[in-house]
Structure formats: structure tokens, C-alpha cells
Amino acid sequence: MSTGPNLLSGLRVIDLTRNLPGPFATRMLADLGASIIKIEPPQGDPARALGPLFQALNQNKDCRTLDLHQSGDLDQLRTWLENTDVLLEGFRPGVMASMGLDFDALKAINPRLVLCSITGYGQQGPWAHRAGHDLNYMAMSGALDQMRSAQGQPTLSNIQWGDLAGGSSMACIAILAAVFDVGRRGQGCHVDVSMTHGLWAHQVMPQSTGAMLAPMLGHLPGAREDLLNGALPCYNLYLTQDGRSLAVGALEHKFWKAACEVLQRPDWADQHWQRGLMPNSPESNAVRDQVAALIATQPLSHWVERFAEVDACVTPVLTLSEAQAHPLFVSAKTSAATTPTRQPWLITA
């Protein structure tokens, strides 16, 4: 599905990356109109073993094979780079230099080239050469420790936040900024994206709210102690009678007041952080427990029906299959198995 004007039409990108972070970054660039040449080794991208994943990441790309251990194939890559705007790579630090593709060498081929490197821990530093995957970047950034169940156990997210938020998204932003700068100065640059540091940067809320709450707690907030991870009655996940979950996101007082009316507990309306209820206080925790007890008396369908027409920021926690079939993602004229009716962005001229 077209997102509207091809804003990046004419942008030429060569992608040497594999698996998830780099390919998703260039998938987003391709969705916006960039021309992507995906270079794979003779054995192929490991994601090819997961057919639907490979297709999702690499549609609308020109997939080619080069053996970068062979001088002839390296020469072919250098020739293509003469007319390329962006080169994206995801090797460990030093690998590009070992192939004669360090940034100084690339500048000699094409002074306007933007080189973007995605690594786990950056090009330099004590962890630069360590292997890692999304789970490790989540763990080392402090993000994973905040994702704990009500019983206190760390949980695994099926969204690869380190790869996608810390890697793909940060790479896209930096690439587009660098390309913009090339248009002004006529010179390329090397963009170094560390997925762990990128994920750390995404924790702007816990770093900020944590500093506010630490004096009251005597320590930085952990799981279920911060404003948006479980300390507030008005912003929480609640189990229903049938073992499903209801997401109550009534962060502002007006939404909490509306939610309390549906819950038939108007006496809770002023038990809100914007009305002076302190997070993690015994009073706040007591309200949270009372809300949990009430919501647990009915199945999810009951609460979905009650909140259907109420603007209170209260929604069911959908399964993936339920989300695929929801009108938010699929129009009445299409099947739930089809691609969502719109991309994350919708652009009109």
C-alpha cells in the first residue's frame, strides 16, 4: 500500500545488514520511496529461514548476492558505491576496515556517501567487540529490569525494543539527518548507532520520573514503582474474571473521573495523582488493589461493553489474532489475514 508521495524517491541505499535491525531500517526507507539494494552473502540472510519474516523485512528491495571475501565482489560493491547515497552495515567494529571499506576508504570512492553502522554497543568502548542480541541490549540498558510481572519476575517482550527502537529507528533518523546535511555541505559522514545506547535514550520517562520519585522511595523506581509501570491506580493493567487483562490508561484526571463513573465508584474520582494522591503511598496502593478486585469480578467482555462508548482511555488487552481482526487495522472489505489498511504513517501532498 502506498503511503502517499514517495518522499525519498531518488535516495539510493546499499544495505549490507542481516537479521532484524538493519533490514527493518531499510524497510522503512523503502516504504518512503528509497531504492534499496540488499547485499546478501552466498549463504543468504539468516532471516531467509523464517520466510514470512524475511518477506516482511525485505519487500520492495533489490536483493543481490556478493561474497565480500572475494576481491572481485568487493570491487563490484565499490563500483556500486560510486552512485550510492547511503551504505548501511551491521558488522562488528573493525570488520569493514578489514575489507578495505573503512570510512576513509569509502570517502575516496564517494565523498558524499553516508555510512551508517549499527552495533550492539558502539564502535568504541569496553564492550565494542562483544556479541549480543536484543535481549542483551535490553538487559544492559536497564530496560528489561523494569518489565516485570506482578509477581516480580522479569518478562520477555516479543517486541525487540533494542533492535527496533534502539537500532532501526535511531538509524533511520540519523541517516535522514546525515543525508540532509550532505545536501548542505556536500560531504558525507559516518553515523555510529549503538542499540544499547539507543535504548537507553528511549528511557526518557523512567530516567526523568525516576529522579522525581527516588527521594520518596529511597532508591530509583523499579518494576511497578514508577509512574507508568504500575505505581498509579489510574494507569495500570488489571486482570479480569476470565484471566484476560484490561488496560486502564486514565493518566489525566478527566479520564479517571470518567472511568470511575463506569466502574460505579465516583468516590475514587479524586483518588488521583493530579489530585495529590502520591504514587507508591499506602493510600494509592489501596486504591489500586480495590480497582483490581472490582475488575476481577467480571469477564473482559463485560468491561469492553461498558467502556465501548466512554472516552476514558480504557481498552482491552488484545491478543495478536484479535488485533489483526480489529477494525482499527482491517477494513470491512478486507480479510483479517491481509496487510493492515494503512502504514504507520499516512502522507498526503
**Annotation says 311 is catalytic:** no
E strand or H helix that includes residue 63: strand 62-65
| Catalytic residue, candidates 31, 45, 163, 226 | 163
The long-range contacts involving 242-247, CB below 8 angstroms and separated by at least 24 positions, are 242/299, 242/300, 242/301, 244/299, 244/300, 244/316, 244/317, 245/300, 245/316, 245/317, 246/295, 246/300, 246/303, 246/314, 246/315, 246/316, 246/317, 247/314, 247/315, 247/316, 247/317
Q: Compute how many other C-beta atoms are within 10 angstroms of the C-beta atom of residue 256.
A: 28
How many angstroms separate the CA atoms of 255 and 64, rounded? 53
Q: What is the largest CA-CA distance in the chain?
A: 76
CA 318/CA 296 separation, integer angstroms: 17
Which residues are catalytically annotated?
A: 163
